[in-house]
Structures are given as structure tokens and as C-alpha cells.
Structure 1
Amino acid sequence: MTWDEMAPLLVEATWQTAQMVGWSTLFTVLLGLPLGVALVVFDRGGLLPLPAVKTVLGVVVNVGRSLPFIVLMIAIIPFTRLVVGTTIGTAAVVVPLTVGAVPFFARLVETALREVGADVVQAAQAMGAGRTTIVGKVLLPEAFPGLVAGLTVTVVALIGYSAMAGTVGGGGLGDLAVRYGYQRFETLIMIVTVVVLIVIVQLVQSLGDVVARRLSHK
């Protein structure tokens, strides 16, 4: 395969990967952030101690994190079809990507929030701040550098998951590598695909590190 033949395929696959990772990142933050906050707030000694609820949430998160992505993707095929009406293509892959990333990100959110000093929370309580105010104006802002770092790790994981989705017709760079690099023995396109994935991961990680460092200095 010549470069002129490869370039359009590579551009399209890269765009599909960006769509998958972008949408799944958005949904992961919308679902994983409140879940991570709940794990902290409902814990013993938290702002609203509900140990039973925290235990249930913890079990759900642990189960979600323990399943290999390829197994999860196959296991929730009926749910994926229910949500988007199909089980193949870029839109369909967003569902398992989100389901797989939410518990992962939730744990990172929990870790970041637990690093906020107890004295900061106690000071807010002493000033009469309510639970919602403490979460929104104390915990989350104080943990923001850690949250950005956790989000960066999650996005990198999603890029890897999206490549894995190519094995079942999910589109993107993984699909390109499987269909052309593996099935048609196009070694060059396999190498180029791997290089593009590495470059994307490096860019995401570098950007996340820079943002986290600047927030920490502030």
C-alpha cells in the first residue's frame, strides 16, 4: 500500500478514534465525578456518612474495574444495542468505553479528594458551610490538580481501549490496524498506526502534566 492510499484511511481512523475518546471522556466525567464524590461523602467520617451505600457503590466500582475491557464490551452488547441501536461502529463503542472508564475514573476522583487536608474541610464547617458548598467550593477546587491528573490517566486508558475495540469492528486506529495491518499483512500501516497511537498518548499525557503542574503552583 502506498502512502497516497494509506493517508486517507489513517486520517479517517484517527478522526474516529478522536470521536470515540472525546465522547466517552465527556460521559465518563459526567458519571464518574459524582460517583467518586459519593464514595468520599458517604464513607465513615465523610460529610454524609452512609456506610451501607458506600459499600454498595464500592462493590459496583470494583466489579467494573475488574472486568477486562474486551470481556466487558462483549458482555454489555444487549445494553449497547438498547442505547444506540447497533453494536458496531464508532457510536456503539462509546457505550462500553464509558462503562469501562467510569469506575476507573471514580476511584481516581476518590483518591484525589482524599488528599485534601481534613483541616480545610473542618475550617469550612466551622464557618457554617453546608455539605454541597464544601464539596463544590472546597473539596473539588482543592483537589483540582489531582482530578486533572486522574482525567489524563483515564483519557490515556480510553485511547488504549478504543484501539482494542477495533478487534470487533469498532472503527478507529485499532480497526485499521486489524483490517489492514493484520488481516492483509500490511506491515507498514501497522507500524504507522502504532506510531500515531504513541504520539497521541504522549501529547495527551504531556498536556495533562502541564495543566496539573500549573494548577498545583496556583
Structure 2
Amino acid sequence: MPEIILKYQAEIWQSIGETFVMVGISIFAALLVGLPIGTLLYLCRKGQMLENRALYSSLNIFVNIVRSFPFLLLVVFLIPFTRFIVGTAIGTMAATVPLSIMAIAYYSRLVEQALLEVPRGIIESAVSMGASVPEIIFKFLFVEARSSLLLGLTTSTISFISYSTVMGIVGGGGVGDFAIRYGYQRFETELMIYMIIIMIFFVQMIQYTGTTIAKKLDKR
């Protein structure tokens, strides 16, 4: 191992752990809230089973507004809300609040797009067989769109890692914050390069894993 890595190995492992916490909670929020919102966006569209213009417009506006926010400004804007939710605006857990909100909006749009790719004939067949709405969602929509949903989650995860690198502004830590504080600000250019390599490695592993599994799930 390079000497510079050995010198800061404790801090490096801590920063990697902080990144995993932030990204992990963001992924959980995306699945727990973003997946249902994206499904509702699809179901409430004009011409769909649960067509509801008011609900669709409300959800659509929420998603568009959050995704339109420059992420750094969103972090600052949400400081009072973050303090209300977790009791503090500083630290790794505080950083997960704006990350999770962005994750929900980001993934819900990808879910809607994935479900729109499902052939309409499949849904019409399910309706003709007397399937209920929950059955159509879980036994037809999600099954047919599972590959696209996974690819969307993979893309989202990589974006969450990118967003996590700016969380140093609220003391969130993580690999990006470590690279700036220890690498850039202390003129340890070699250390910063190694941290960039670590980030690239993580992203490539996530992309490869997600793409491989998605190909296996795609039965088309």
C-alpha cells in the first residue's frame, strides 16, 4: 500500500463508512417512498387505471421542483427541516435528509418512465382477467419492468454517491469531503488522486453489478 494511504487509513475507512451510510439510507428512501410515488405517477396519468389529474399534478410538481433544485442549494434550504427531523443540521445523519428527499424525487421519475415502457396490451390482458389493482401492480407491472427498475436504481445509486461528495458543507463527511479536506486543502495531491480512484472503483462495481443482474432479469 502507498505510504500516504497507510498514514490516513483510519480516516479513509471512516469516510467510506460515512458514504455507505448516506447512500444506503438514500437508497432505502428511494425504494420505500420513491417507488410508490413513481407507481402513482404512472397509475394516475391520463388514460391509466387510476386516472386522477389532481393527484398526478401534485406529485409531478413535487418531483419536478426537487429535481430542479441545485443540490447544494437544496441542502442549505432544508437545514431547518433537517434540524426538525433529526435534531441537528450537522453530521452524517443530518446529511441523509436532503439526500433522501433528492433520492425520492429522482427515483420516482425513473420508476414512472420504466412502467411506461410496459406494453399496454399486458395491462389490458390483466384487467380482462379480473386482476385487482394491487395484483396488476405487483404481478404484472413490476414483473415486466423489473429490469428497467433495477437499472434505474443503479443509475440513482451512482448519482447519490456523486451528491454525497458535497455533504461536507453540513459536516456529513464521506469520501468526497475527506478528499477535499485532507487532499486538496492540505495539498496532499497524491491522497486526493487515490480517493478519486476509490470512488471510480465503487461506481464501476455498482454499475457492473446492476447491469449484470438487470440483463438476467430481462426476459424480453
Q: Tell me the TM-score range normalised by the shorter chain.
A: over 0.9
Shift of 1:179: 1.2
Q: Equivalences for 1:118-197 in 2 at 5 Å?
A: 118-197=120-199
Q: What is residue 60 of structure 1 aligned with on the other side?
A: 62
Q: For residues 129 and 2 of structure 1, what CA distance do their matches in structure 2 show?
A: 61
Q: Is the 8 A contact 2:94 2:170 kept in 1?
A: no
Q: Say whether 1:78 aligns with 2:80.
A: yes
Q: Is the 8 A contact 1:40 1:110 kept in 2?
A: yes
Q: Equivalences for 1:2-151 in 2 at 5 Å?
A: 2-151=4-153
The 4+ residue runs of structure 1 with deviation greater than 4 A are none
Q: Is the 8 A contact 1:177 1:190 kept in 2?
A: yes
* Matched residue type, 2:72: I
Q: For residues 100 and 91 of structure 1, what CA distance do their matches in structure 2 show?
A: 15
Superposed CA deviations along residues 30-80 of structure 1, whole A, max 9, x for unmatched, are 010000001011111111110121112111110011001111011000111
Q: For residues 7 and 173 of structure 2, what CA distance do their matches in structure 1 show?
A: 18
Q: For residues 194 and 29 of structure 2, what CA distance do their matches in structure 1 show?
A: 29
Q: For residues 134 and 113 of structure 1, what CA distance do their matches in structure 2 show?
A: 12
Q: For residues 134 and 154 of structure 1, what CA distance do their matches in structure 2 show?
A: 25
What percent of counterpart residues are identical? 41
Q: For residues 101 and 89 of structure 1, what CA distance do their matches in structure 2 show?
A: 19
Superposed CA deviations along residues 187-215 of structure 1, whole A, max 9, x for unmatched, are 11111111111110000000000010000
Superposed CA deviations along residues 7-48 of structure 1, whole A, max 9, x for unmatched, are 221111111111111111111110100000010111111111
* Matched residue type, 1:101: A
* Matched residue type, 1:6: Y
Superposed CA deviations along residues 168-188 of structure 1, whole A, max 9, x for unmatched, are 421111121121112211111
Using the size of structure 1 for normalisation, the TM-score is 0.96
1:216 to 212, 215, 218: 218
Using the size of structure 2 for normalisation, the TM-score is 0.95
Q: For residues 138 and 95 of structure 2, what CA distance do their matches in structure 1 show?
A: 32
Shift of 1:3: 3.1
Shift of 1:137: 1.1
Q: Is the 8 A contact 1:42 1:51 kept in 2?
A: yes
Q: Is the 8 A contact 1:41 1:47 kept in 2?
A: yes
Gaps of 5+ in 1: none
* Matched residue type, 2:194: V
Match of 2:8, SS state, is helix
Q: Say whether 1:204 aligns with 2:202.
A: no
Report the count of equivalent residues.
218
